[in-house]
Amino acid sequence: MKTNEELQKDVMEEIKWDPQLSSMATQIGVTAKDGVVTLSGNVDTFTQKLAAEKAAQRVSGVKVVAVDIEVAIKGIHERTDTEIAEAVKNALTWHSAVNEGLIDIKVDNGWIYLDGTAEWDYQKKAAETVVRDLIGVRGVTNRIAVRSQTAEPREIKRKIAAAFHRSASMDSKNVEVEVYQNKVTLTGKVRTWAERTDAERVAWSIPGVTIVENKIEVDVQLSPVEA
């Protein structure tokens, strides 16, 4: 187990190592307590805020990341809401994985709100990914709903279990899966944040799943044999 000081230092080093953040690493504050890492400070773009969060999640020993970073857009990064909305519309139109006709766009003070429907979760995520890197964006709220497809809960659970078994990045013995109608709930413990994320990705990839509740805990004390 790392001490709080060791974990704080490792996260700070990971942020400095990230090429998107190296020039502003001193603007990002890091605190750590019992595996919970809190990031604070200011960055120039929403992309940098996301990069800081991902950098912290990559560090061994991190269980939870709380992000209190503010996006302070100024100078060449400033855009009006109208300009951002037009850029969002164009970005969605040109993305092959997104049906822009099913998505409604709202921009308020640089914050993008996405509403509408998608057939798959990857389409919902693609819509968010393609707009969050646009200039002037302070944040994205993705309220796109995944449309329900016909699927038996037992079949959903079977397919998830099979996908977990095939995965090279996680041990399915440590993750429990419950399915109620189209909702999947994941519980259990894994060693890293990457394993937790991969388990959720697998659940979302199954046809018929419209909600995934990820309650998996990161427990760095699990032995390599167990995890």
Structure token pair of residue 66: 């709380």
Please name the CATH architecture into which domain 4-72 falls.
Answer: 2-Layer Sandwich (3.30)
- The CATH T-level fold of domain 77-146 is Histidine-containing Protein; Chain: A; (3.30.1340)
What pLDDT is recorded for position 223? Answer: 57
Q: Do domains 77-146 and 153-218 have the same CATH topology?
A: yes
User: In the predicted model, what is the mean pLDDT of residues 144-170?
Assistant: 87
User: In the predicted model, what is the mean pLDDT of residues 108-131?
Assistant: 94
CATH number of 153-218: 3.30.1340.30
Structure token pair of residue 118: 């998608």
CA pair distance 140, 200, nearest whole angstrom: 20
CA pair distance 160, 163, nearest whole angstrom: 5
CA pair distance 95, 129, nearest whole angstrom: 10
Share of the chain above pLDDT 90, in %: 70
Domain locations in the chain as residue ranges = 4-72, 77-146, 153-218
pTM, full prediction: 0.76
Per-residue model confidence as pLDDT tens digits over 186-199: 999 998 888 899 99
3-state secondary structure of 12: helix
